[in-house]
Amino acid sequence: MRFDHEALSWWLFLVCALFFVVGSIRAGDPVFLGGSMLFLVACVVYLVGRRR
């Protein structure tokens, strides 16, 4: 079985995006929150599209 390093890297990006969202909420910064949410959505869209 071949290990998919690319998939692992995208899952790690997703985890990082979640930490960015939590950090922006704790900081109370709406611009940071908006950027973090866009990053999170982009990671999810990429992972969903990758399955097809």
With 80 as the cut, is the pLDDT of residue 1 above it?
A: no
pLDDT for 28 equals 97
- CB within 8 Å of 7: residues ≥ 6 apart: 47, 50
pLDDT for 41 equals 96
Q: What DSSP string describes the chain?
A: ----HHHHHHHHHHHHHHHHHHHHHHHT-HHHHHHHHHHHHHHHHHHHHHT-
pTM above 0.85, yes or no: no
pLDDT digits (tens, 9 = 90+) for 7-51: 899 899 999 999 999 999 999 999 999 999 999 999 999 988 887
Owning domain of residue 45? 5-50
Number of structural domains (the chain) is 1
